């Protein structure tokens, strides 16, 4: 028996219809769809308003993607493992406000590194609590994280504080101001590319490496694909679950700290209500709420797309009142497109 015997059975590619081929390609390249939409959006906007083509716009979109992007990376990992998290914004708010408050009242001179580490640790802890609760209650992650969202935010505003404050630690202000790149445009506008963007890049690389180059990463996908089989093959599902929520929490904590550094103020009401939009961005990037799918590249493309759409409406003269409807339409389109892909691709 030779290899050729089985080839036709695996997939008779030449005879595929164009639809099937597109669907196949999308499945193999999850970032393809959001990237294509991204390119299309840029071209359309650029055609309407040639001013769109400037470095500053790129910087703006990238900068505005940092917090949402960190959230999205966490959501991706949770979705890949077959869960769902809507508590990350509450975790971020709780961590950023508490850490900033404690540091600025007790050790205002603290450097940025310990502050970032505190954010990571605090977030991871709260995230792990989500995971433990989900294991313990055997309840859907969505429901449990709705509950913890209420609990975290309620705790923050009841026991920690409600006041916005501007006198954040100097190291945080300074860190938010560091520019990787600074340029004065022809119009005399200084354009800065903030250094904290590198932290997002780093987080993306680490998440990518984790998902693709550790056993844990494979366990995450295994868990999202067929948890009972993964368990039978020796993956510790409960531990994977705690891990993914801890990871999402950790990235949320980090996002919170960066949010404060870049805004130069700590507001406990910030970030609330961003949950569903972040999930939408991750889904736009090719992850499925049914679990087991999704890539870092796709997720970043999804976040960039949503941020871009959010940011360019003014430039093409669409009234800002249209923003919500446009984003909603994008999400519906993406949902329908992926439903079609899943139905059409070979071997389903």
Helix (H) or strand (E) holding 180: strand 179-184
Binders in 50-89 for another protein, by CB under 8 A = 51, 54, 56-57, 60, 64, 84
* The two structure tokens encoding residue 192: 């800065």
Q: CA 187 to CA 232: how far, in whole Å?
A: 64
Q: Which of 19, 108, 114, 154 is the binder for another protein (CB under 8 A)?
A: 154
Judged by CB under 8 A, the stretch of 36-44, 92-100, 117-125, 316-324 that binds another protein is 316-324
Smallest separation, CB 40 to another protein (Å):
19
User: If binding means CB under 8 A, how many residues of this protein chain bind another protein?
Assistant: 121
Site string for another protein, 9-38 (x = CB under 8 A): xxx---------------x-----------
Q: Which of 288, 296, 302, 309 is the binder for another protein (CB under 8 A)?
A: 288
Q: CA 146 to CA 87: how far, in whole Å?
A: 6
292 counts as binding another protein under rule CB under 8 A = yes
3 counts as binding another protein under rule CB under 8 A = yes
Smallest separation, CB 281 to another protein (Å):
11
Smallest separation, CB 110 to another protein (Å):
19
Q: Are 293 and 286 in contact (CB under 8 A)?
A: yes
Q: CA 153 to CA 308: how far, in whole Å?
A: 29
Q: Choose between 116 and 222: whose C-beta lies nearer to another protein.
A: 222
180 counts as binding another protein under rule CB under 8 A = no
> 179-214 in b/e burial notation, b at 16+ Cβ within 10 A?
eeeeeeeeeeeebebbebbebbeebbeebbebbeee
* Spatial CB neighbours of 163, under 8 Å, sequence gap ≥ 6: 268
Q: CA 171 to CA 110: how far, in whole Å?
A: 7
Q: CA 319 to CA 78: how far, in whole Å?
A: 35
Q: Which of 293, 296, 300, 305 is the binder for another protein (CB under 8 A)?
A: 293
């Amino acid at each position: 028996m030779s290899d050729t015997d089985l080839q036709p059975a695996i997939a008779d590619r030449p005879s595929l219809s164009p639809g099937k081929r597109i669907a196949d390609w999308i499945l193999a390249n999850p970032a393809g769809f959001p990237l294509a939409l991204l390119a299309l959006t840029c071209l359309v906007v650029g055609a309407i308003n040639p001013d769109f083509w400037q470095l500053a716009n790129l910087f703006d979109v990238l900068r505005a993607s940092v917090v949402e992007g960190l959230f999205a990376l966490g959501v991706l990992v949770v979705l890949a493992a077959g869960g769902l998290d809507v508590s990350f914004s509450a975790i971020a708010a709780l961590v950023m406000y508490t850490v900033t408050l404690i540091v600025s009242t007790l050790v205002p001179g603290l450097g940025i590194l310990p502050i970032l580490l505190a954010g990571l640790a605090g977030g991871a802890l709260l995230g792990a609590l989500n995971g433990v609760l989900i294991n313990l209650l055997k309840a859907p992650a969505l429901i449990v994280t709705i509950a913890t969202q209420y609990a975290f935010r309620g705790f923050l505003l009841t026991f920690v504080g409600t006041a916005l404050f501007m006198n954040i630690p100097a190291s945080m202000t300074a860190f938010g101001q560091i520019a990787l790149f600074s340029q004065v445009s022809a119009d005399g506008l200084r354009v800065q590319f903030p250094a904290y963007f590198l932290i997002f890049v780093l987080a993306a690389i680490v998440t990518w490496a984790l998902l693709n180059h550790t056993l844990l990463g494979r366990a995450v996908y295994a868990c999202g694909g067929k948890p009972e089989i993964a368990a039978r093959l020796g993956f510790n599902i409960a531990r994977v679950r705690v891990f993914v929520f801890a990871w999402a929490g950790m990235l949320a904590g980090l996002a919170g700290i960066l949010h404060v550094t870049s805004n130069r103020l700590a507001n406990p009401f910030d970030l609330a209500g961003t949950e569903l939009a972040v999930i939408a961005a991750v889904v736009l990037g090719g992850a499925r709420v049914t679990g087991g799918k999704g890539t870092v590249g796709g997720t970043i493309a999804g976040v960039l797309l949503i941020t871009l759409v959010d940011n360019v409406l003014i430039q093409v003269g669409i009234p800002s009142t249209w923003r919500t409807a446009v984003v909603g339409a994008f999400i519906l389109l993406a949902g329908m497109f992926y439903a079609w892909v899943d139905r059409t691709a070979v071997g389903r």
